Amino acid sequence: MATTFINITLKIWRQKNVNAKGSMESYTLDNVSTDSSFLEMLDQLNEQLINQQKEPVAFDHDCREGICGMCSLYINGRAHGPDTGTTTCQLHMRKFNDGDTIYIEPWRSRAFPIVKDLVVDRSAFDRIQQAGGFISVNTSGRTMDANAIPIPKSDADKAFEAAACIGCGACVASCKNGSAMLFVGAKVSQYALLPQGKVEAKERVINMVRQMDQEGFGNCTNTGACEVECPKGISLENIARMNREYLCAAAKAD
């Protein structure tokens, strides 16, 4: 496919800092290669802004290959843009047409305060992980080989699918309630399915859900938006599993 160049209009959320009041600002950007990625397009915009002595747009990015979970961006009303199963860094400008207006906003959630422009603070996810998203292993040098424990293939596959979550927060961003249940469901599931995770399963689900509630995320109403927008295809089955785990844990809690 031949490279073409398009001219676009961008409507981008600009906000100086966490306390400042932000607003949507309009920019025009010419000669954008359709082969460039969405983030390269933003790099191009920032070069233009710097040349004009203007403040560049702050946005999160790191690996640029869809695995780190750093990039975010709510593009034209959808988390990570119009494609499904991709992160923003995997989105290419060939998905857009000459003359398009593209809306770019940060994840909107009370639990993800905006640091600057399109950058949000997702440390709420870290605190949820710290509340129980781990297994306690004795690392004194006599650690048991994980592969020595037989695990049914189907369980291993499901745990692996849940562990594919990169914690980007697209589920929270697309949920009309700003709920983090797909993220927490995936993190609970990846351990709940494996023997190593069973030891702390009860405390894990109770503590992670409690932390999730404290962070100010909304409640899940099963709209299923998270599952559709998740770049890693995490299924709603993980939320159901968390609901089961939680019910058992809460009923048996000391």
Partner 1 sequence: MSKSALLKSSIAKKYWMSLTGLFLCLFLVGHLAGNLQLIFTTGEEGKRAFNEYAYFMAHNPAIKILSYLTYISIIFHAIDGIMLAIQNKRARPIPYAYNNPSANSSLASRNMAILGTLILVFIATHMANFWWKAKISSDKFPLHMKELTVEDSNPMTGQPQKVNVKLYLTTSGDYVPVDQLEVKNNTDLYAKGVDLKMAEGYKDLHSLVFAFFGHNKSKEGFPVNDMALGAVLFYVISMFVMGFHLWHGFSSAFQSLGLNHPSYTPLIKKAGYGFAVLVPLLFAIIPILIFLTK
Q: What is the contact surface with partner 1 in residues (CB under 8 A)?
A: 11, 13, 24, 74, 76-78, 82, 103, 105, 108-111, 174, 176-179, 181, 206, 209-210, 212-213, 216-225, 228-229, 236-237, 239-247, 249-254
In the bound complex, what is the minimum distance in angstroms from residue 106's beta carbon to partner 1?
Answer: 9
In the bound complex, what is the minimum distance in angstroms from residue 144's beta carbon to partner 1?
Answer: 31
The span from the CA of 115 to the CA of 68, in Å, is 19
Helices (H) and strands (E) in the chain, counts: 9, 7
Which is nearer to partner 1, 32 or 181 (by Cβ)?
Answer: 181
Residue corresponding to tokens 């040098």:
141
Q: Check residue 179 and report its DSSP letter.
A: B
In the bound complex, what is the minimum distance in angstroms from residue 108's beta carbon to partner 1?
Answer: 5
The count of other CB atoms within 10 Å of the CB of residue 78 is: 18
Amino acid identity, residue 146?
A
Which is nearer to partner 1, 60 or 245 (by Cβ)?
Answer: 245
Which is nearer to partner 1, 123 or 148 (by Cβ)?
Answer: 123
Which is nearer to partner 1, 20 or 146 (by Cβ)?
Answer: 20
Helix (H, G, I), strand (E, B) or coil at 47: helix
Which is nearer to partner 1, 45 or 170 (by Cβ)?
Answer: 170
Which is nearer to partner 1, 66 or 106 (by Cβ)?
Answer: 106
The span from the CA of 218 to the CA of 198, in Å, is 27
In the bound complex, what is the minimum distance in angstroms from residue 107's beta carbon to partner 1?
Answer: 10
In the bound complex, what is the minimum distance in angstroms from residue 2's beta carbon to partner 1?
Answer: 29
R_g of the chain, CA atoms, integer Å: 20
CA 204 to chain centre: 21
Tokens coding 57: 């747009």
Q: Tell me the C-alpha to C-alpha distance, in Å, between residue 128 and each of 132, 133, 176, 210, 216.
A: 7, 7, 21, 9, 12
The span from the CA of 102 to the CA of 117, in Å, is 16
In the bound complex, what is the minimum distance in angstroms from residue 186's beta carbon to partner 1?
Answer: 14
In the bound complex, what is the minimum distance in angstroms from residue 237's beta carbon to partner 1?
Answer: 5
Which is nearer to partner 1, 166 or 226 (by Cβ)?
Answer: 226
The count of other CB atoms within 10 Å of the CB of residue 245 is: 22
